[in-house]
Structure 1
């Protein structure tokens, strides 16, 4: 079977959707599927090496913005399919893929509580995309339930094909370069780590608030925030440094590489995941795989994916988050070194690939 993965809309920044391609495609290639990747120029040499065995279908001029994609991406799809004859196109569930053999992917429904015009347009696009899709893949049972509530007519086409974690890269075993990575970043083990795109639903403001409350209690443990995005947690970090000049408030790292991330997880005293909404929650799962204690928001996705291996706190309740973080920082927590990797092992890319193949075989028979 030949599949074409549309990776044009993933851009160059780290994201759950980009991580899905990097995790799922190598496993599918290993299972004998012929995979093409419709991609722009923003893929690093390391990423392409990880996708060895897949065929890159290059698009030199990637359309930017929804209107440009709407007008141009259908034409790009037709040209790509004439070059790479495939059985199915795997793409975000949007209306512009020009094929009747679309496997639409829905990662999250972050827009469902948003009343802005952009969110309404995104909802309309999703409805149109779902109507065109032969099959709809969602990344977690929570996302499946949310989509079924919004679009009841999509239920018959929904299949849960989860995300996963690369348990070969994210492991509790200390790597030979871990100390060098922490030293290069000016870190000592035991910091509070928060990993995620800097956007409102990831709640970086809660992470800053937790560090502020810790400082008020004279707990001098730095907060390390890893990610990119439009929000500026640097402003909150600067205010924190000004308010508590004798403490190490922490730092914001926007340029962390894939090679550095496992070492940062392993060096953390606790990993904080205060998201208000998630489709899957890859970052806290990676942290568990590395044996790090995790304090996360009590949202349905985290309950599904993290289980009892993480401490869950009410969304936006800073005092509860502070209590959970301090109980780990001050008393230590050995349990995640055992339960975390075991929980992460339930969500591997190999298992995700097997679910994907089962769903695709079903779509091929329909």
Structure 2
């Protein structure tokens, strides 16, 4: 499925349009012998433990969209990344014992581990915790999970909402979400991934047939094999394989991504890619996935929309975010002992350009900061670079430069910015700069456009596909050109001419990624997978 390139259309193209034909065969009816004809979707909720933006945000939006539909019965797989002791089926007749057991699983998810057994503690002391953990996982090779351990949403509804869903959904959706079914897997995602990376035949099996699920929707290549049901992988990018030099633990990520992806394709999984360039990367790696791969763009939250605020309020948002950002920089293990004096300078009312993402090499923030610093010194000030960013993979160089420019009062580094405040910053920004060298989608471009900000993006295939003619492009390897571009942008009037035209085009383009546009495409895709 490909979205119309038209800047005036808010309708997705029909299945089979464009260069990406409908890969699903004609419907042949729902499974027989079941009175409830809804498609039963078990969605991986692991991303919900990882924050707000990007994949976690879309996970919540998709869960909410499916839960609101009368055509689907939604379930959430609570497969955190950390090791657990193994959830067991709900067989206890004592209600208090069942609640106690579920509470223990929740505590393990929140803490990242369960209390070690006596045998594990002995192993940790005799052969080391790393080896003992791996041996414990190997003992459970080829385990079959009947998906029988459920979480009672009436008892633990507050945990479901506050821990998993509240950051991306509206309060009125809470009751709807809590009607879903939530399941603890017997093996955590992290342990299942270790087995799958070691040997695909050792993978944990999710018994979809016994538990009545039609589809398992995973948000990365999945470490599980299925007994019954269909696997749908939401494929975000091939960065662990194509850009290993930009991520931490590169060999581990590349190996696990490759082996799980290869196993999923061998099992006949379907792939829903976030963009056409991502699908191209998938097919470059595994051409046989062509007939089982489609494109549905990443869904943007409706919370992003223009919200003008008085200048004093914008300054207050920047000050609060800068205080939180300074605290995070000081807390880094690599932090120096200085107190970041630049982080306490007065926030002025000068124009600002803005960037929103994680600090890591492929995001190209080092070049953006150097270019902004050159432009700032050339102009003797007159603007600031506002960066809403937390340190990520291999970000030591970026953090060191960031600290320097914070102290020079060139960069305002913000952290812990709410959605409400972020859309106000987007709206107030003179422009938003998206400098990445590699992306699977880059949701910040859409968020910024949806808030009426002029966007300037690096000239990479994903940005061209997502943004079309609604942004201006620059070479992500040409620092001098970017510095000159920044000087031009901050000198231009915000409400007329070049920047005003970009803001208008961006608002129209952002409408293509609204939930109301993309939900029907998802419903169609999942329904056809279930009927295949």
Shorter-chain TM-score: what band?
Answer: 0.7 to 0.9
1:271 equivalent in alignment to 2:432: yes
Structure 2: distance between partners of 1:258 and 1:75: 38
1:128 equivalent in alignment to 2:263: yes
CA shift, 1:254, in A, is 3.2
Q: Which deviates further from its counterpart, 332-341 or 91-100?
A: 91-100
Counterpart among 233, 240, 243 of residue 405 in structure 2: 240
Larger Rg: 2
Q: Compared with structure 1, are the counterparts of its residues 48 and 169 closer, same or farther at alpha carbon in structure 2 (3 Å cutoff)?
A: closer
Counterpart among 166, 171, 175 of residue 46 in structure 1: 166
- Residue 348 of structure 1 is matched in structure 2 by 514
Map of 1:258-297 to 2, 5 A cutoff? 258-297=419-458
Q: Compared with structure 1, are the counterparts of its residues 162 and 241 closer, same or farther at alpha carbon in structure 2 (3 Å cutoff)?
A: closer
Q: Compared with structure 1, are the counterparts of its residues 46 and 84 closer, same or farther at alpha carbon in structure 2 (3 Å cutoff)?
A: farther
Structure 2: distance between partners of 1:190 and 1:200: 27
Give the SS at the match of 1:111: helix
Q: Compared with structure 1, are the counterparts of its residues 127 and 82 closer, same or farther at alpha carbon in structure 2 (3 Å cutoff)?
A: closer
Structure 1: distance between partners of 2:486 and 2:53: 26
- Residue 171 of structure 1 is matched in structure 2 by 305
RMSD: 3.0
Q: Compared with structure 1, are the counterparts of its residues 184 and 113 closer, same or farther at alpha carbon in structure 2 (3 Å cutoff)?
A: closer
Question: Could you list the per-position Cα deviations for residues 202-260 of structure 1 after superposition, in whole angstroms to 9, with x for gaps in the alignment?
Answer: 11212211222112312442222223324243321222356xx4xx2123223223333
Question: Could you list the per-position Cα deviations for residues 21-60 of structure 1 after superposition, in whole angstroms to 9, with x for gaps in the alignment?
Answer: 1222323333322222223556356237546323262549
Counterpart among 246, 257, 280 of residue 145 in structure 1: 280
Give the SS at the match of 2:308: coil
State whether residues 47 and 55 of structure 2, in contact with CA within 8 Å, keep that contact through their aligned partners in structure 1: no
State whether residues 406 and 413 of structure 2, in contact with CA within 8 Å, keep that contact through their aligned partners in structure 1: no
Counterpart among 366, 379, 403 of residue 205 in structure 1: 366
Structure 1: give runs of 5+ residues left out of the alignment: none
- Residue 35 of structure 1 is matched in structure 2 by 74
State whether residues 234 and 252 of structure 1, in contact with CA within 8 Å, keep that contact through their aligned partners in structure 2: no
State whether residues 364 and 476 of structure 2, in contact with CA within 8 Å, keep that contact through their aligned partners in structure 1: no
Q: Compared with structure 1, are the counterparts of its residues 49 and 111 closer, same or farther at alpha carbon in structure 2 (3 Å cutoff)?
A: closer
State whether residues 406 and 412 of structure 2, in contact with CA within 8 Å, keep that contact through their aligned partners in structure 1: no
Structure 1: distance between partners of 2:44 and 2:309: 34
TM-score by length of 1: 0.86
State whether residues 321 and 417 of structure 2, in contact with CA within 8 Å, keep that contact through their aligned partners in structure 1: no
Structure 1: distance between partners of 2:464 and 2:223: 34
CA shift, 1:95, in A, is 4.3
Structure 1: distance between partners of 2:268 and 2:218: 10
TM-score by length of 2: 0.61
Q: Compared with structure 1, are the counterparts of its residues 170 and 9 closer, same or farther at alpha carbon in structure 2 (3 Å cutoff)?
A: closer
State whether residues 304 and 450 of structure 2, in contact with CA within 8 Å, keep that contact through their aligned partners in structure 1: yes
Map of 1:180-195 to 2, 5 A cutoff? 181-182=317-318, 184-185=320-321, 188=349, 190-195=351-356
Question: Could you list the per-position Cα deviations for residues 141-161 of structure 1 after superposition, in whole angstroms to 9, with x for gaps in the alignment?
Answer: 111112112210000100112
CA shift, 1:64, in A, is 4.0
Structure 2: distance between partners of 1:356 and 1:45: 19
Q: Compared with structure 1, are the counterparts of its residues 336 and 123 closer, same or farther at alpha carbon in structure 2 (3 Å cutoff)?
A: same
State whether residues 89 and 102 of structure 1, in contact with CA within 8 Å, keep that contact through their aligned partners in structure 2: yes
State whether residues 137 and 160 of structure 1, in contact with CA within 8 Å, keep that contact through their aligned partners in structure 2: yes
State whether residues 207 and 274 of structure 1, in contact with CA within 8 Å, keep that contact through their aligned partners in structure 2: yes
CA shift, 1:345, in A, is 0.4
- Residue 317 of structure 1 is matched in structure 2 by 478
Question: Could you list the per-position Cα deviations for residues 175-215 of structure 1 after superposition, in whole angstroms to 9, with x for gaps in the alignment?
Answer: 69964534534654732211112221111212211222112
Structure 2: distance between partners of 1:85 and 1:337: 48
1:227 equivalent in alignment to 2:352: no
State whether residues 232 and 269 of structure 2, in contact with CA within 8 Å, keep that contact through their aligned partners in structure 1: yes
Structure 2: distance between partners of 1:95 and 1:170: 31
1:300 equivalent in alignment to 2:465: no
Q: Compared with structure 1, are the counterparts of its residues 357 and 44 closer, same or farther at alpha carbon in structure 2 (3 Å cutoff)?
A: closer
CA shift, 1:4, in A, is 1.2
State whether residues 350 and 384 of structure 2, in contact with CA within 8 Å, keep that contact through their aligned partners in structure 1: no
Q: Compared with structure 1, are the counterparts of its residues 34 and 97 closer, same or farther at alpha carbon in structure 2 (3 Å cutoff)?
A: same
- Residue 160 of structure 2 is matched in structure 1 by none
Map of 1:40-79 to 2, 5 A cutoff? 40=80, 41=109, 43=163, 46-47=166-167, 50=170, 52=174, 53-54=176-177, 55=180, 57=182, 59=184, 62-64=188-190, 66-67=193-194, 77-78=206-207
- Residue 504 of structure 2 is matched in structure 1 by 338
Structure 2: give runs of 5+ residues left out of the alignment: 1-38, 81-108, 111-162, 245-249, 323-346, 494-498
CA shift, 1:174, in A, is 2.3
